[in-house]
Structure 1
Amino acid sequence: MSTALEAPPQLGHGPERTSTPEANTARFPLPTVDLSGDTARQVVIAAGSENSYQGHPTTLLMPDGKTMFCVWTHGHGGPCGPLKRSDDGGLTWSGLLPVPANWREVRNCPTIFRLPDPRGKYRLFVYAGQGPDGCIHESHSENNGRTWSPMRSLGLTVVMPFCTIVPIDGGRTLLGLTNIRREGDGGDAWSNVVAQSISGDGGFSWTPWRVIADNPELRFCEPWLVPSPDGRELTCLMRENMHGISWRMTTRDEGISWTKPEPLPVGLAGDRHVARYAADGRLVVVFRDRALASGTTTHFVAWVGRYDDLSGGDDAGDYRIKLLHSHAGYDCGYPGLELLPDGTFVATTYIKYRPGPEQHSVVSTRFTLAEADRKVARASCP
């Protein structure tokens, strides 16, 4: 039976870091545009209350350029179930959509994708981790999100579900990355390594994890893959939990081999990066800010630059945008980011949207690079 699920009591999924002990604290090299006070560009998708916490959304824009889905959890890393659809590019949203009842049995940071199988058929998938067996689960739709299958275990243990999935091998295969516990770390709540898996059937089954980023002194997690403009390279952006900077590594053979991880520019110091290309070729990356000298640390921000800037120095990039203000410190920033046909970016996150007793909401904000460029230019004029 499919029902629109009501919120159960709030549940947690482990510690959330409250400081960035070794983040770069020098003068911040990039200008920042502040859009966070402009409520006219913001849309509350799911409002929190004193008794309800809306957490950890991701979004998916369909090929028509206007239908969008948003999936999230009840509570911090809590049970899945909430799913809404927008038919106008995120300006308005449906009520909770019906989903199978066993979605409630699976928890933690669901991610939503539109994935091709080897024959070119596309399906929608929601991945979430973990289910009752501690493994990542999937639910899929054969009809563009009108109905969904029950959640099903994939038999792979995880911390997060797939954070990023890209087609490789001419679209016949899928490459998925996430973070898992380092083998033998036992009860270390910060234990994380980045691992990859391959699907040859469009997302239904996945190979055993292969660890691709591991350093005993670091805690790599929550990867995101950015293809180079020419399609010959993938750069993996990674959160790192212990030192307040972020990291990158690259592959030029679709994940067969990876370079040694190196720090990202300080403008990208943050957690849970999600990136999209603008029509002019620039790259927009949204995340939770952890750069101590930025003036926006703990808030939901965007970095604007180019692909080559990912391997640049600390001044690499054009500027940053403060998107939304967090009234709960670092507890924000797991995002979705979509680009509409008119050049509007729609960035969505969970955040304590207002001071007071209300808990976190799922909120989106909208912007274009053209307006952000103008604001930066005006601010730089004497």
Structure 2
Amino acid sequence: MLIANMLLGGSLTSVCGSETELSLEAHDTISIPTIDISRETERHSIVAQGTAEIYQGHPCTALLPDGKTMYCAWSINHAGHLGPLARSDDGGKTWSDLLDVPENWRQVTQTTPTIHYLVDPGGKGRIFVFGGLDFPGRLRQAYSEDGGATWTPMKDTGLTAECAPKTIMSFDHGKRLVMWCDRRGPFAANRPDAEPYIWEAESRDGGLTWSPERPVVRTQSRWGQPAVIRSPDGKQLLMVLRNEDFHSLFSVSNDDGKSWSEVRLLPAALTGHRPKMLYAPDGRLVMVMRDTSKSSKTYGHFVAWVGKYEDVISDRQGQYRIKLLHSNAGRDCGYSGFELLPDGTFVATTYIKYRPGPEKHSVVTTRFKLDEIDQKQPMK
């Protein structure tokens, strides 16, 4: 049966119930189909080729307002030093050689960088690159005001973060930006014995300066790696969180992030590390991640989940999953960039051991549209 003819997954237990009411057996079973496009190499492009000596790791991407210019930032070695940066002028089909950046970017070590296009209240757009220094430690940032031609040195933001922010959202008609990050302990510095929290910080000048962090969500494992998106009606925020070695979590806010619900478990179909979310042109929600559901046929690989916003908050499994790229190094992949082009093409980027052999991880993109995936047969 083609995916286009299949209904969305049925409802399980409502998230309004207590956590003890959740059916772990139902949560552990993935009943929706998976589509495998990982062998369709015509979808792929190489941002940075790994070699026997060089490990290309942990990328993030930013799409500029022209709908075709993209930047990708990543690290050398596993959570290694920041520095590599590349540009695409054709929506991620081809990529430039490495761009020149200030020397002190390489001093931002033990990091998983992120990149964002942020607009200040006056309408001025800048491209920002964020990275933690001596992970876990201080969050640093640099930016470009000329479309990526030149970049500032990295400087301290005054914030303490385990991972750089994957989501930065605009509020109050662009007057306020909010980022979300991990931290150990609600107020104290990072400590191994401290409880894990997600915090948020605000900027009212387009990201140039940030308020002190404010703890907002008590999570359950060291790396929450929060991804945040608005509901289709704009009234609610959804935060999806990594949960180490167990099901992923979510929290919602009905007041633009001033307060958040207690975290709840997600089904196995929605379980993964370092999620990023976007809406397709038809309104479906798409989430990319490293698959960490131990009941999954695609455990450890780079995958996408497809469904509706209501599926996430109502404890439903969704419509289907996609195996995007095959990892030849277990579950060492999945920190991703995720963009939607004007023609409805998703561009998903990750670091992955692309082939067997001596070459280490590469940074790779893959492209897909939901209307074409809808027509494909599921994995057996």
Q: TM-score, normalised by structure 1?
A: 0.88
Partner of 2:147: 144
What's the CA shift for 1:146?
Answer: 1.1
Residue 232 of structure 1 pairs with residue 244 of structure 2: no
In structure 2, how many angstroms separate the alpha carbons of the residues matched to 1:167 and 1:181? 26
Contact 1:214–1:220 (CA under 8 A) maintained in structure 2? no
Aligned residues: 355
Residue 322 of structure 1 pairs with residue 327 of structure 2: no
- Write out aligned runs for 1:34-183 (5 A): 34-107=36-109, 108-130=111-133, 134-182=137-185
- Write out aligned runs for 1:1-382 (5 A): 26-107=28-109, 108-130=111-133, 134-182=137-185, 188=192, 192-215=196-219, 218-219=221-222, 221-241=224-244, 243-313=245-315, 315-376=316-377
What's the CA shift for 1:218?
Answer: 4.0
What's the CA shift for 1:170?
Answer: 1.8
Task: Letter of the 1:77 partner, please give it.
Answer: A
Q: Give 3-state SS (helix, strand or coil) of 1:129's partner.
A: strand
Q: Percent identity?
A: 47
- Give deviations 1:101-155, integer Å, cap 9, x for gaps: 1110113111111111122211111111116994111101111111111111112
**5+ residue gaps in structure 1?**
1-21
CA pair 180-91 structure 1, distance change in 2 beyond 3 A = same
What's the CA shift for 1:156?
Answer: 1.5
Q: Give 3-state SS (helix, strand or coil) of 2:225's partner.
A: strand
Contact 1:23–1:244 (CA under 8 A) maintained in structure 2? no
- Of 139-148 and 116-125, deviating more is 116-125
What's the CA shift for 1:294?
Answer: 1.6
What's the CA shift for 1:71?
Answer: 0.5
- Give deviations 1:56-91, integer Å, cap 9, x for gaps: 000011111111111100111111110000011111
What's the CA shift for 1:185?
Answer: 8.7
In structure 1, how many angstroms separate the alpha carbons of the residues matched to 2:322 and 2:268? 14
Q: What RMSD over aligned residues (CA atoms) do the two structures have, in Å?
A: 2.2
CA pair 210-236 structure 1, distance change in 2 beyond 3 A = same
CA pair 36-180 structure 1, distance change in 2 beyond 3 A = same
Contact 1:23–1:245 (CA under 8 A) maintained in structure 2? no
Task: Letter of the 1:209 partner, please give it.
Answer: E
- Give deviations 1:309-339, integer Å, cap 9, x for gaps: 11122x4311000001111111100001111
**5+ residue gaps in structure 2?**
1-23
List, as ranges, runs of 4+ consecutive aligned residues in structure 1 with deviation greater than 3 Å.
22-27, 131-134, 183-187, 189-192, 217-220
In structure 1, how many angstroms separate the alpha carbons of the residues matched to 2:379 and 2:190? 51
Q: Give 3-state SS (helix, strand or coil) of 1:320's partner.
A: strand
